[in-house]
């Protein structure tokens, strides 16, 4: 029986870890989309073979690179030993405690772990921004790319803006995944669009809207708000009376909440 090529074995291990490493052109495209604070802290998730790590480290004060594969992490440490502002952590990024100081997250996210990594970023109060490579479909769903908006995006919009910065063809990865990738950026607003003390009320409104038993957003919110207050608030937010919840943009949700607050 012929020996299994080393390259194929590496590809098998990467697939087991849900890792698809970027190639040169794809890495350059992603790096053009990344904006780091030169005096800041950056956390890299899924550092892999380090194709991004050294160049990210040159753009920030300190870089902490997380890699779950011990072999890849060991090679990364050897490759970056001359960059004193880099620390390689062998382990799961999700097990890390968020720094107290402001920081940014950058990384080629394992597709199978996108949702928990995004949740980690959203929950980290000191995170100022995250620029992540995800499945293109995920990035589009979260940024209104299909003309529809998700509950997660709308719920977090007063604190975090979601943007799709570009598309990376699947051929720019090794091993080649089944789908193309998107560059997703989460940017925390310097100040929330809604007063912190009212964010809970905003999210309850959003939950009520998305939790409606079909029909329009207006019909769903009639359970929570006085019917007389809704038409004028919907008009102020530019939302039609028959608009289905998924087609209401995050900016319209924020304006709708503000209008209802003024009429409370």
Task: State the greatest distance between any 2 C-alpha atoms of the chain, in Å, as a whole number.
Answer: 78
Which region, left, alpha or beta, applies to residue 116 given φ > 0 means left and ψ of -120 to 50 means alpha? Answer: alpha
CATH number for position 252: 1.10.8.100
Among 181, 193, 43, which residue's Cα sits nearest to residue 120?
Answer: 43
> Domain range for residue 231?
196-262
Of 136, 164, 188, at which residue does a domain stop? Answer: 188
Q: Is residue 249 located within the same domain as residue 120?
A: no
Which is it for the CA torsion 71, 76, 78, 81, positive or negative? negative
Q: Is residue 180 located within the same domain as residue 208?
A: no
The mean pLDDT of 254-260, rounded to a whole number, is 98
Could you report the per-residue pLDDT of 70-94, keeping only the tens digit for each? 999 999 999 999 999 999 999 999 9
The mean pLDDT of 238-247, rounded to a whole number, is 96
Instruction: Check: CB of residue 210 under 8 Å from CB of residue 151.
Output: yes
d(CA 243, CA 230): 13
Helix (H) or strand (E) holding 198: none
Q: Is residue 238 located within the same domain as residue 182?
A: no
Which is it for the CA torsion 221, 226, 231, 232, positive or negative? negative
Domains of the chain: total: 2
d(CA 261, CA 30): 41
- Mean pLDDT of all residues belonging to the chain: 93
Q: Is residue 57 located within the same domain as residue 93?
A: yes
Could you report the per-residue pLDDT of 158-209, keeping only the tens digit for each? 999 999 999 999 999 999 999 999 999 999 999 999 999 999 999 999 999 9
d(CA 189, CA 211): 27
DSSP string, 49-73: T-TTHHHHHTTSSEEEEEES-HHHH
Confidence (pTM)? 0.91
The mean pLDDT of 24-29, rounded to a whole number, is 94
Q: Is residue 129 located within the same domain as residue 11?
A: yes
For residue 4, the model assigns a pLDDT of 41
DSSP 8-state code for residue 103: E
The mean pLDDT of 123-152, rounded to a whole number, is 98
Beta strand pairing call for 127-135 and 181-188: antiparallel
CATH number for position 58: 3.40.50.150
């Amino acid at each position: 029986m012929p020996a299994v090529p080393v390259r194929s074995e590496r590809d098998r291990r990467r697939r087991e870890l849900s890792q698809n490493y970027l190639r040169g052109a794809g890495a350059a495209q992603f790096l053009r989309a990344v904006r780091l604070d030169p005096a800041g802290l950056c956390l890299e998730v899924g550092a892999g073979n380090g194709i991004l790590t050294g160049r990210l480290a040159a753009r920030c004060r300190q870089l902490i690179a997380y890699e779950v594969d011990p072999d890849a992490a060991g090679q990364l440490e050897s490759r970056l030993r001359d960059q004193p502002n880099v620390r390689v952590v062998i382990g799961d990024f999700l097990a890390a405690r968020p720094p107290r100081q402001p920081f940014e997250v950058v990384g080629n996210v394992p597709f199978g772990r996108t949702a928990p990594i995004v949740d980690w970023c959203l929950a980290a109060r000191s995170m100022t921004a995250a620029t992540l490579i995800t499945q293109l479909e995920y990035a589009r769903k979260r940024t209104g790319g299909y003309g529809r908006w998700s509950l997660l995006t709308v719920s977090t919009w007063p604190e975090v803006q979601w943007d799709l910065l570009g598309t990376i063809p699947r051929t720019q990865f090794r091993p080649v995944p089944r789908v193309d990738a998107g560059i997703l950026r989460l940017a925390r607003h310097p100040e929330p669009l809604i007063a912190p003390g009212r964010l809970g009320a905003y999210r309850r409104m959003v939950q009520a809207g998305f939790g409606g038993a079909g029909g329009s957003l207006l019909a769903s919110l009639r359970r929570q708000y006085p019917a007389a207050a809704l038409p004028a608030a919907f008009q102020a937010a530019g939302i039609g009376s028959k608009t289905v919840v998924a087609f209401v943009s995050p900016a319209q949700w924020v304006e709708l909440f503000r209008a209802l607050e003024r009429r409370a």
